[in-house]
Amino acid sequence: MSALIEGIRKGNFVVFGRAGMDMFADPQGTKAEHAEVFRADLGGSSANICAGLCKLGMQSALVTSVSDDTVGRFCTNKLKHYGVDTQYVTVLGGEYRVSLAVYESTMDDFQLCIYRNNAVDFQVTNTDVDKVDYGAFGALITAGTVFAAEPSRGSTFRSFENARAAGIPVIFDIDYRPYSWPSPQVAAEVLSRAGEESDMIVGNDEEFGFMAGGIEKGLDKARELAASGKLIIYKMGHEGAITLMDGEEIRTGIYPVTAVKPNGAGDSFMAGMLASIAEGRDLRESVLRGSACASIVVSKPGCAPSMPTTAGLEAFLQDHPGPT
């Protein structure tokens, strides 16, 4: 466990997964089907984590593929705008396309429409992951979506091997998206393998329950994984989270806000928690700061643009006593 914390405290992360374009209806409160104006920014779970880390003073590099078109270049330019290292972003021609998410900034029957046909981020190969200088980073992060299809499934497992050879820990955000997978059975098998091969696992109660074969078994699954020496963050939505490590269970609450959308919370949580650990804070405080970052993101339009800076996070914590 000490190796995991030491790796995170280097503050330099290599992240595997997708970058995408987000389009969200403007002004706030407009339903997408009635919108005349959309704002565009960076999206995709792994890209969001990268941006969130950089905005909190950390370093991150994204390993992914983008399409050789204006949308792919948009995503790459946005990654650079947020300070993300793009040296491992591969540009692919042909019919592969960057993911597109269309949504709105209102919780009134919130709608999220994701286009993932011929998703280019699934095309990351062994050659791509072998180019990474793993020893230059403190930890590897991956979101579960990369495992939904080949070749990125196999290449990401290969990156785990490369990380172990370089002596850096693996952090796994389960991030189960049913629409990306060929079947729930395949997803359960592959995500369970990814969990076994990781040093730290972050997921919600439904995701751990899915891996265990029933939501009522989720916490037991989390405890089982923690008993094998892993750091587990078991998120429970509005009920907060349980952090499991070395036989200890730390329960923490959330910071209530008026949400304008539900998406982006998990990505911001991950960035805020890891950045706080990297700053030398203890686990309880780090998880709470991650929860604050999640609250900030759901209270504003967009994902990457609403990720807080360190100053923004500190201002939020001053203005929001708590948590519940």
pLDDT on residue 215 = 84
pLDDT on residue 201 = 98
pLDDT in tens, 162-203: 999 999 999 999 999 998 999 999 999 999 999 999 999 999
For residue 214, pLDDT beyond 90:
no
pLDDT on residue 77 = 98
User: Across all residues in the chain, what is the average pLDDT?
Assistant: 96
**How much is the average pLDDT of 129-157?**
97
**How much is the average pLDDT of 14-20?**
98
**How much is the average pLDDT of 26-55?**
97
For residue 298, pLDDT beyond 80:
yes
Is it true that the peptide bond before 184 is cis, omega within 30 degrees of 0?
A: no
d(CA 10, CA 158): 23
For residue 1, pLDDT beyond 70:
no
**How much is the average pLDDT of 18-43?**
97
pLDDT in tens, 144-173: 999 999 999 999 999 999 999 999 999 999
pLDDT > 90 fraction of the chain, expressed in percent and rounded = 95
- At residue 212 the predicted structure's pLDDT band, cuts being 50, 70 and 90, is confident
For residue 123, pLDDT beyond 70:
yes
- At residue 213 the predicted structure's pLDDT band, cuts being 50, 70 and 90, is confident
**How much is the average pLDDT of 91-97?**
97
- At residue 324 the predicted structure's pLDDT band, cuts being 50, 70 and 90, is confident
- 194-199 long-range contacts (CB < 8 A, ≥24 apart) are 194/142, 194/144, 194/147, 194/156, 194/157, 194/160, 195/225, 195/230, 197/157, 197/160, 197/170, 198/160, 198/170, 198/171, 198/172, 198/230, 199/3, 199/4, 199/169, 199/170, 199/171, 199/230, 199/231
CATH superfamily placement of domain 2-304? Ribokinase (3.40.1190.20)
Greater confidence (1 vs 29) lies with 29
For residue 54, pLDDT beyond 90:
yes
pTM of the full predicted structure? 0.97
**How much is the average pLDDT of 207-220?**
90
- The domain limits of the chain are 2-304
For residue 321, pLDDT beyond 90:
no
